[in-house]
Amino acid sequence: MTITHSVLVAGIGNIFLGDDGFGPEVLRRVPPDVAAAGVRLCDYGIRGLHLAYDLLEGWDLLVLVDALPCRVRPGTLRVFEADPMDTTPGLDAHAMDPAAVFATVRALGGAVPPTVVIGCEVGSVAEGIGLSDAVAAAVPAAVEAIRSAVADHRTPVRRT
């Protein structure tokens, strides 16, 4: 029997498209204590295939940090569980779609772990570096949401 705590926290987004850089910016601000044993933080940017291959390593939990289409108001933070069997694109506001990543993992013979999405509704994804004020204001809450997701998962998973 082994006890595992393997959590992959993935920041995704394009830093050259304004608020779409939310995921990478949040990952940049995560304090080192969150990345304790069994937790890997990685800024994937727009490298969806790289994320898919890394998911083949067999993680117990995936935390995706990403920009979301604006439905309420820019800067609105949403935390929800993604359905890894959903093949409907649209979890994010850019070309690197998590549904496509999940489909790639399955096509390569892997399984997608339970997935928590920490997303922020965008104000602008126009060309330019830097987050809008509303989205930048959501970064600290997103860091705390990562801390919470990791802490919730730290209850040991026993495998026989």
Given a cut of 90, whether residue 159 has pLDDT beyond it is no
Kindly report, residue by residue over 57-86, the tens digit of the pLDDT: 989 999 999 999 999 999 999 999 987 776
> Would the CA dihedral through 88, 52, 55, 97 be positive or negative?
negative
Does residue 53 lie in a domain region?
yes
Which pLDDT score, from 0 to 100, does residue 66 have?
94
**Which band of pLDDT confidence, cut at 50, 70 and 90, is reported for residue 94?**
very low
**Which band of pLDDT confidence, cut at 50, 70 and 90, is reported for residue 148?**
very high
What domain range is 16 assigned to? 7-125+140-154
Provide the domain count of the chain.
1
Given a cut of 90, whether residue 12 has pLDDT beyond it is yes
Q: How far apart are CA 49 and CA 108, in angstroms?
A: 11
Which pLDDT score, from 0 to 100, does residue 154 have?
63
Which pLDDT score, from 0 to 100, does residue 88 have?
54
Supply the CATH number for residue 37's domain.
3.40.50.1450
Which pLDDT score, from 0 to 100, does residue 140 have?
98
Query: Environment class of residue 12 by beta-carbon count within 10 Å: exposed (0-12), middle (13-18) or buried (19+)?
Result: buried
